[in-house]
Amino acid sequence: MKEAKNPIPTVDIIIELKDRGIVLIERRNPPFGWAMPGGFVDYGETLEDAATREALEETSLKVRVKCQMHSYSDPKRDNRFHTISTVFVVEADGVPQARDDAKGIGIFKEGNLPQPLAFDHKKILEDYFRWKREGFGVFNF
């Protein structure tokens, strides 16, 4: 019998800090670069719980989920294995601190995003900023 290979569910989190920008982390582990906080969904965990857990682990921020933005499933989005990421937009107050597998952290706006961005996060953030300007109807496939 052929062993089943399935994509791995993950979450990515766009953390909005009111009037300050969004929180991105600098990755401590490969693939290196800047990224939205996020990670793997644990067995028995909802996507929303995974998003709030990962945000707290990587940024020390307690977040409030605003909405689920979109899911990204390109098999090439992560060069380690095939993942499907569900992206959440959340809000938080406070000062983020790099924790867990984040070696650095920053608050950014659309015009000053750091480089390089890991995974497919450049595309996700382009979609996010377009969605903020134009509304929900921007996801055309």
Cα torsion through 43, 51, 82, 26, rounded to 10: -130
Cα dihedral across residues 64, 111, 137, 10: positive or negative: negative
* Cβ atoms of residues 10 and 82 within 8 Å: no
What domains can be seen in the chain, in order of their start residue? 8-136 (3.90.79.10)
Q: What is the pTM of this model?
A: 0.93
Q: In angstroms, what is the C-alpha Rg of the chain?
A: 15
Number of H helices, E strands in the chain: 2, 7
pLDDT in tens, the chain (141 residues): 778 899 999 999 999 999 899 999 999 999 999 999 999 999 999 999 999 999 999 999 999 999 999 999 999 999 999 999 999 999 999 999 999 889 999 999 999 999 999 999 999 999 999 999 987 666 665
